[in-house]
Amino acid sequence: MNVYSSDQIRNIVILGHGGCGKTNLVDAMAFVTGAINRQGRVEEGNTISDFDKEEMKRKISIGTSIIPVEWEGCKINVLDTPGCFDFAGEVKEAIRVADGAIIVISGKSGVEVGTEKAWEYVEEMNIPKMFFVTDMDDEQANLYDVIDSLKELYGKRIAPFHIPIRDEGKFVGFVNVTKMEGRKFVKDHVETCPIPNDLIDEIEPIREMILEAVAETSDELMEKYFAQEEFTLEEIQSALHKGVVDGEIVPILCGSGMNNTGVQVLLSSIVKYMPYPKEEHPFVIGKNPETLEEIEVICGEEQPLSAFIFKTIVDPYIGKLSLFRVYSGVFKSDSMVYNANKDIDEKVSHLFCLRGKEQIEVKQLVPGDIGAVKLSNSSTGNTLCDKKNPVLLEAINYPESLAVMAIVPKTKGDEEKISVGLQKLMEEDPTIKVVMDPENHQELLYGTGDQHLDVIVSKLSSKFKVEVDLVKPRVAYRETIKGKVKVQGKHKKQSGGHGQYGDVHIEFEPSGDLEHPYIFEEKVFGGSVPKNYFPAVEKGLQESVQRGVLAGYPVVGVKATLVDGSYHPVDSSEMAFKIATTVAFKKGFQEAKPVLLEPIASVKILVPDVYMGDIIGDLNKRRGRVLGMLPMNGKQEIQGEVPMAEMFGYSTDLRSMTQGRGTFTMKFERYEQAPSDVQEKVIEESKKEA
């Protein structure tokens, strides 16, 4: 691969709805530029970017892959991302290091939820974007419908650069509206052709739209526009470049990734209109690791080194690869780098540029470029830099992992292998979380959706040779009392020699504090229970509250007051009083109107207005309470409280109800008394398990 300077590099992320044709387009780009000599197909499982076994099996992208291609004297680092919402973490990683985005839309499917999500992601990171409408060779493809939908969603910024030319219903070329020239596809290249007469009337308003967008980029061009003077091609292209970089113009191009049409023009447009690091992103803001003061990290080869690890690939055979982008300085092989997050030095032996799974060794990488390196201790999100000039670069904002299942090994004794495998997968994917639930004795696996969890299980099997099942997690219920009682607990045993004797009279009542298991007090008069046995009584309480008498769940909110009792000068002991206390507890708990408490979650659900009725109706079915609604960026945030037992699988249900447009967050709020039917069901289930 040739050596490129920072102004010859373009970092472009490919985004879009699942199945819209992103990966086929990337393969076409690699084929057109000569990076590969045979174009693959997702359906055949032989594309350059979907090289993981899971991707080939499922016929979808699961991880972000990098395909560097060379075009018109530039190196374009193409980042192909998954379209499935369950792998949004991978998308966030790619957008974090990209300078521009191509949002792919299928001409026959039109604007989909994934299109809108992609727009939201790039708007959040404030990076320039283009639309590429693919599948134009399909008779059902309609570019005008796509344009209308995009203009309705995003307004005047939408600027169609291409209008398709059809001959007997077939997509044979396009009109370049910026140059007002026809282009016809001839075998493996594009030739100039006259604009068909029947398209001239359609092109005029679109041409006018582009000229208006050009005029708005500067006062000088605006004056020229009002004076009805013609813009030169150079003025148009220069203004369009500025408009695209500033986000004021979002071009629409068209073609077909499957049949390789329009791909060369897309590549040329990336070179022409998309930003390059040194000129248009001269610096990024970092922080001093010690003082957290902001630092300008300037994009230049003469600057101190700074690079950001945005992705990790862990393979049982080749080891761990850290994928990074250089922001300043020159990243060289056979050197030492400093990890500012972990305060450690790392030895760099070999540097690579990845092209799919292929590793191309290079000696150095300049600011703006993307590469890979084998490091022992560094992780995704870490900054590598010069030790004398430490800096922390902005972290990746990952989506919250709210889908959860409990892991059960299929074979006893595999727990350690499962732990090692999950640890490796978490290095690769920070959206995977594993939490031990000591109360229910379950290992909980968190992901971003059902398909994400399914892929984790499949990878454990294929990569680490360990089989697991996923089961529904148990809910962390609690038990408490509603009434007040006074009971006696007595333990008396004679077995030759010293016997055992302990006798306590305890009042049980609600403490009003559900944060703590119990409150212990003693109001003993006359020494009926010696003071030295008080700790034994409290210890009996400590053990008793761990398992309630209703369904075996921990007890909270109980006040126990020792009021009386008796002892034997020879047979009494700490053990006897502890046992007497547990007897009193069981008896008192059953008599003091015991109830089951369920955990309540505070939820915030963000959805478009059109889904409000469905969401509120569904929350009511889940025994939830809507507390309020708040308008947010054209959507509504529904705030409410729902029993956590009813929120299992909600991430999947919400996607289904909102076609993927809804998101939510959830956190534990408090415990509340469960309805009687829920209590009966939980108690019955606990009896069966016992």
pLDDT in tens, 229-243: 888 888 888 889 988
Distance CA(442)–CA(435), nearest Å, equals 9
Q: What is the pLDDT of residue 497?
A: 64
- The backbone region for 294, taken as left when phi is positive above 0, alpha when psi lies in -120 to 50, beta otherwise, is beta
Tell me: pLDDT of 315 over 80: no
The residue with greater pLDDT, 169 or 326, is 326
Tell me: pLDDT of 351 over 80: yes
| CATH number, residue 158 | 3.40.50.300
Is 215 found in the same domain as 148?
yes
Give the pLDDT band (50/70/90) at residue 613.
very high
Tell me: pLDDT of 189 over 80: no
Tell me: pLDDT of 365 over 90: yes
Is the CB of residue 333 less than 8 Å from the CB of residue 414?
no
**274: which residues sit within 8 A by CB, 6+ positions away?**
10, 12, 99, 100, 128, 130, 244, 245
Is 43 found in the same domain as 187?
yes
Domain end, chosen from 348, 368, 393, is at: 393
The backbone torsions φ and ψ at residue 624, rounded to the nearest 5 degrees and listed phi first, read: -90, 165
**205: which residues sit within 8 A by CB, 6+ positions away?**
none
Amino acid at 87: F
> Strand ranges (DSSP E) for 81-239?
100-106, 129-134, 158-160, 162-167, 170-176, 181-186, 189-193
Give the pLDDT band (50/70/90) at residue 505.
very high
Is 166 found in the same domain as 103?
yes
Is 659 found in the same domain as 580?
no
Is 270 found in the same domain as 219?
yes
Distance CA(283)–CA(277), nearest Å, equals 9
Asked if residue 30 is part of any domain, the answer here is yes
| CATH number, residue 466 | 3.30.70.870
What would the mean pLDDT of 383-404 be, rounded to a whole number? Answer: 93
Domain end, chosen from 280, 303, 320, is at: 280
Is 573 found in the same domain as 482?
yes
How far is CA 142 from each of CA 119, 165, 215, 342, 526, rounded to the nearest angstrom?
A: 21, 12, 29, 52, 94
Displacement of CA 358 from its chain's centroid (Å):
26
Q: What is the pLDDT of residue 496?
A: 62
Distance CA(601)–CA(671), nearest Å, equals 9
The residue with greater pLDDT, 346 or 187, is 346
Give the pLDDT band (50/70/90) at residue 690.
low
Number of domains in the chain: 5
What would the mean pLDDT of 206-231 be, rounded to a whole number? Answer: 86
Sign of CA dihedral 614, 620, 624, 628: positive
Domain end, chosen from 592, 620, 650, is at: 592
Average pLDDT, the chain: 91
- Strand, helix or coil for residue 628: strand
Is 276 found in the same domain as 155?
yes
Asked if residue 155 is part of any domain, the answer here is yes
Asked if residue 398 is part of any domain, the answer here is no
Q: Which two tokens stand for residue 589?
A: 């708990």
Asked if residue 351 is part of any domain, the answer here is yes
| CATH number, residue 361 | 2.40.30.10
Distance CA(582)–CA(576), nearest Å, equals 10
pLDDT in tens, 614-641: 999 999 999 999 999 999 878 899 999 9
Asked if residue 1 is part of any domain, the answer here is no
Distance CA(370)–CA(255), nearest Å, equals 28
Is 572 found in the same domain as 452?
no
How far is CA 104 from each of CA 19, 72, 143, 382, 508, rounded to the nearest angstrom?
A: 10, 22, 13, 30, 66
Displacement of CA 522 from its chain's centroid (Å):
53
Tell me: pLDDT of 87 over 90: yes
The backbone torsions φ and ψ at residue 413, rounded to the nearest 5 degrees and listed phi first, read: 95, -5
pLDDT in tens, 169-182: 788 889 988 888 89
| CATH number, residue 665 | 3.30.70.240
Amino acid at 451: Q
Distance CA(295)–CA(30), nearest Å, equals 37
How far is CA 206 from each of CA 150, 248, 296, 601, 617, rounded to the nearest angstrom?
A: 14, 16, 41, 51, 44
The enclosing H or E element of 458 equals: helix 450-464
Q: Which two tokens stand for residue 140?
A: 């059902």
Asked if residue 656 is part of any domain, the answer here is yes
pLDDT in tens, 416-452: 999 999 999 999 999 999 999 888 889 999 999 999 9
Asked if residue 581 is part of any domain, the answer here is yes
Q: Which two tokens stand for residue 652?
A: 């999947």
> Domain limits at 616?
597-689
Is 385 found in the same domain as 270?
no
What would the mean pLDDT of 262-287 be, rounded to a whole number? Answer: 88
188 CB-contact burial (10 Å; exposed 0-12 / middle 13-18 / buried 19+)? exposed
Give the pLDDT band (50/70/90) at residue 493.
confident
Is 680 found in the same domain as 536?
no
Give the pLDDT band (50/70/90) at residue 665.
very high
Is 336 found in the same domain as 199?
no
The enclosing H or E element of 72 equals: none
pLDDT in tens, 247-258: 989 999 999 888
Tell me: pLDDT of 41 over 90: no
Asked if residue 514 is part of any domain, the answer here is yes
For the beta carbon of residue 585, count every other beta carbon within 10 angstroms: 26
Distance CA(415)–CA(123), nearest Å, equals 43
Is 108 found in the same domain as 70?
yes
Q: Which two tokens stand for residue 487?
A: 């009971």
Tell me: pLDDT of 480 over 70: yes
Tell me: pLDDT of 9 over 90: yes
